[in-house]
Chain A
Amino acid sequence: MTDEPLLRVNSLSKFYGSRVGCEDISFDLWPGEVLAVVGESGSGKTTLLNCLSTRLMPTSGTVTYRMRDGAFRDLYRMSEAERRFLMRTDWGFVHQNPADGLRMTVSAGANVGERLMAVGDRHYGNIRATAVDWLSRVEIAEDRIDDEPRAFSGGMRQRLQIARNLVTGPRLVFMDEPTGGLDVSVQARLLDLLRGLVTDLGLAAIVVTHDLAVARLLSQRMMVMKDGRVVETGLTDRVLDDPRAPYTQLLVSSILQV
């Protein structure tokens, strides 16, 4: 594809007063690559994700992103207008709780269409056609397009949130526990869908999860965090099948077998 990474993270740290959120994190993310960040609750996964997605100002370190014109830009030196524009065009953010990422009081169609209208699309027919197309891609029936997400099940809400994020053709998607709170059969279908979309669209993604099975299914590379630091990183299959750090060994051996 290309020999330059999409996102470069250099010794990123976030402190909450004297407490560590995450400390000294560096990695590169390549186009089309899915990186899973795993670890137990409180290990700094979500802090890291928020620092990367400009939702939380890091204490130190840099995050640079390769824009569509090929130039690397430091995210925290961009103007707020540019950052927000980036967030709603080139990026997506899938929240664990769909209510955080959706507008619960407007219809599913408008939820999907909002980003299009935000970037200047002013043709109702086209917006609606795109919304129908995306709803079908995330397996939501066309006749639900005018229903509010409040009338949707948890799994449908999550799929709608994914459609809303992908409609502008982003290159990078952040996901925070995308399958949390869903029962296993719904989870399996959502993972299937996500895997298909990520492959079809060539998306790069950073997926935060505490579920190692989700990480195994979705990601090619994996970062294990503990107490705000990265304890192990490597190809997902290697980390899961041959964990080297003691903490990772503990984590892998803690998976319940049915």
Chain B
Amino acid sequence: MNALVENIAQYNFAYLDEQTKRMIRRAILKGIAIPGYQVPFASREMPMPYGWGTGGVQVTASIIGPDDVLKVIDQGADDTTNAVSIRAFFRKVADVAVTTETAKATIIQTRHRIPEYPLAAGQVLVYQVPIPEPLRFLEPRETETRKMHALEEYGLMHVKLYEDIAKHGRIATTYAYPVKVEGRYVMDPSPTPKFDNPKMHMSPALQLFGAGREKRIYAIPPFTEVVSLDFEDHPFEVQSFDQPCALCGAEQVYLDEVILDDHGGHMFVCSDTDHCEKRRENGHTGATAAGSKEAVE
């Protein structure tokens, strides 16, 4: 135990050295100055594999200070491996306070959800991004996609939506749904469900996106226009659920399907665990809150 603590003491505050943090902060500032533009940065090796949030962790490490309160969520949940590990990482290397409460956090690192509780001015939402380029699957050449962004040639993005409608009768993209930021750059909001897209629009919180493997950072400053792409005759719409959360009875929230047994038993519960717990503390109950799963079967 002692040896471990001594080892940790050799690391700089929040793991990254100060030169690296300055480099990343410069990229963040540039990203904020050009909303939605992907800023290349010299992504570092982190003590975790690519795809586990190396981009988000680097952004968080560069902006976190001793007085910050950190919340980490993975698909909305505070208690999954990725969230627990990253929270423990920053508690160890930065000795910061951590929380699961959305309202109390100053920095929220997220993998693929935006909390249900509305974010406030002063909060920072840090997204972990696997593939920052929204045009990637349509145009594989990076040289070409950068040119397309520079010249605002975004017809191709609608080709994807056209294909959706032609194949499925509606826009079938449900996550990583492309948005246009401040009327200029088309941006991939990371694989959040499109349910969360409207929350990005005019958000009072600062939103930062870090892609470690792809070495890109981009940002949406507070109170920025974020519009989901669509067709006039097939307007953008979010997912809707025909039943409320089985635990807390919440409606108008994003639900996860949970399999209960191998006889087809399942229930829909809030994907945002903090939101669900808060509601239950305040006395809201859903169909299975009493503990009987027969209610949903």
Q: Which A residues are closer than 8 A to B by beta carbons?
A: 80-81, 84, 88, 103, 106-107, 109-110, 113-119, 122-125, 127-128, 145-146
User: Which chain A positions have C-beta within 8 A of B138?
Assistant: 103, 106
Partner pick for B166 among A81, A110, A116, A123, CB 8 A cutoff: A110
Smallest distance from the beta carbon of B140 to chain A beta carbons, Å? 10
Known pairs A107-B166, A110-B166, A146-B167; A125 contacts B155 (CB<8 A):
no
Give every chain B residue within 8 A of A116 (Cβ-Cβ). Answer: 155
Does B162 contact A110, Cβ atoms closer than 8 Å? yes
In the bound complex, do residue B155 and residue A122 qualify as a contact, i.e. CB atoms below 8 Å apart?
no
The stretch that binds A, out of B23-31, B126-134, B227-235, is B227-235
Instruction: Report the bound CA distance from A97 to B166 in whole Å.
Output: 26
Q: How far is the CA of A71 from the CA of B166 in the complex (A)?
A: 40
| Distance between Cα atoms of A85 and B103 in the complex (Å) | 48
Bound Cα distance A145, B162 (Å): 12
Instruction: Give chain A residues whose Cβ lies under 8 Å from the Cβ of B167.
Output: 107, 146
Chain A neighbourhood of B165, CB < 8 A: 124
Collect the chain B residues with CB atoms within 8 Å of residue A127's CB.
162
Q: Is B156 located at the chain interface by the 8 A CB criterion? A: yes
25 chain-A/chain-B pairs, Cβ below 8 angstroms: A81-B151, A84-B153, A103-B138, A106-B138, A107-B163, A109-B166, A110-B162, A113-B162, A114-B155, A116-B155, A117-B156, A117-B159, A118-B154, A118-B155, A118-B156, A122-B158, A122-B232, A123-B232, A123-B233, A124-B231, A124-B233, A125-B233, A145-B166, A146-B166, A146-B167
Provide the bound-state CA to CA distance between A122 and B158, in Å: 8
Complex contact B159–A103 (CB within 8 A): yes
Residues from chain A with Cβ under 8 Å of B147 in the complex: 80
Residues on B with C-beta less than 8 A from A107 are 163, 166-167
Task: Determine which of B151, B155, B230 lies in contact with A80 in the assembled complex, contact meaning CB atoms within 8 Å.
Answer: B151
How many Å from the CB of B167 to the closest CB on chain A?
Answer: 7
B136-159 near A? 1/0 per residue, CB < 8 Å: 001000000001000111111011
Chain A residues near B152: list those with CB within 8 A.
81
Q: Find B163's partner among A81, A106, A122 (CB 8 Å cutoff).
A: A106
What 14 additional pairs, Cβ within 8 angstroms, besides A113-B159, A113-B162? A80-B147, A81-B152, A103-B159, A106-B163, A110-B159, A114-B159, A115-B155, A116-B155, A117-B156, A117-B158, A117-B159, A122-B232, A127-B162, A128-B166
Instruction: Report, as a range, how many residues of chain B touch the other chain.
Output: 20 to 34
CB neighbours (8 Å) of B163 from chain A are 106-107, 110
In whole angstroms, what is the CA distance A122 to B229 when docked?
A: 10
Which single residue of chain A is at the shortest CB-CB distance from B148?
A: A84
Whether the pair A122, B231 counts as a contact (CB closer than 8 A) is yes
> Which chain B residues border A122 with CB–CB below 8 Å?
158, 230-232
B162 pairs with A124, CB closer than 8 A: yes
B: residues with CB less than 8 A from A are 138, 147, 151-156, 158-159, 162-163, 165-167, 230-234
Q: CA A106 – CA B166 in complex, angstroms?
A: 11
Residue of B nearest to A123 (CB): B232
In the complex the two chains form, what is the Cα distance from A107 to B159 in whole Å? Answer: 9
Bound-complex Cα distance A84 to B138 (A): 18
- The smallest beta-carbon distance between B100 and chain A, in angstroms, is 42
Which 10 A/B pairs are nearest by Cβ-Cβ distance?
Answer: A118-B155, A117-B158, A124-B231, A117-B155, A81-B151, A123-B232, A110-B159, A110-B162, A146-B166, A125-B233
Chain B residue contacts of A114, Cβ below 8 A: 155-156, 159
- List of B residues within 8 angstroms of A115 by Cβ: 155
A81 contact set on B, CB distance < 8 A = 151-152
Closest-CB distance, B216 to chain A (whole angstroms): 23
Chain B min CB distance to A81 (Å): 5
Question: Could you tell me the distance between the alpha carbons of A88 and B162 in the complex, rounded to whole angstroms?
Answer: 19
A94 to chain B, nearest CB (A): 19
Please measure, in the bound complex, the distance between the C-alpha atom of A117 and the C-alpha atom of B232, giving whole angstroms.
Answer: 12
Q: How far is the CA of A21 from the CA of B165 in the complex (A)?
A: 46
CB distance from B69 to the nearest CB of A (A): 43
A207 to B166, CA, bound (A): 34
Residue in A88, A107, A122, A145 with the greatest tally of chain B CB atoms within 10 Å: A122
**A145 and B166 alpha carbons, distance in the complex (Å):** 9
Q: List, in ascending order, chain A residues with CB within 8 A of B156's CB.
A: 114, 117-118
User: A88 CA to B151 CA in the complex, in Å?
Assistant: 13
Query: Are B231 and A123 within 8 A (Cβ)?
Result: yes
How far is B137's CA from A49's CA once the two chains are assembled, in angstroms?
Answer: 30
Smallest CB-CB separation from A118: which chain B residue? Answer: B155
Shortest A62–chain B CB gap in Å is 24
Name the residue on A nearest B157 (C-beta): A117
A136 to B147, CA, bound (A): 34
- The CA-CA distance from A81 to B152 in the complex, in Å, is 9
> What is the bound-complex CA distance between A119 and B153, given in angstroms?
9
CB of A106 within 8 A of CB of B159, answer yes
Chain A neighbourhood of B151, CB < 8 A: 80-81, 84
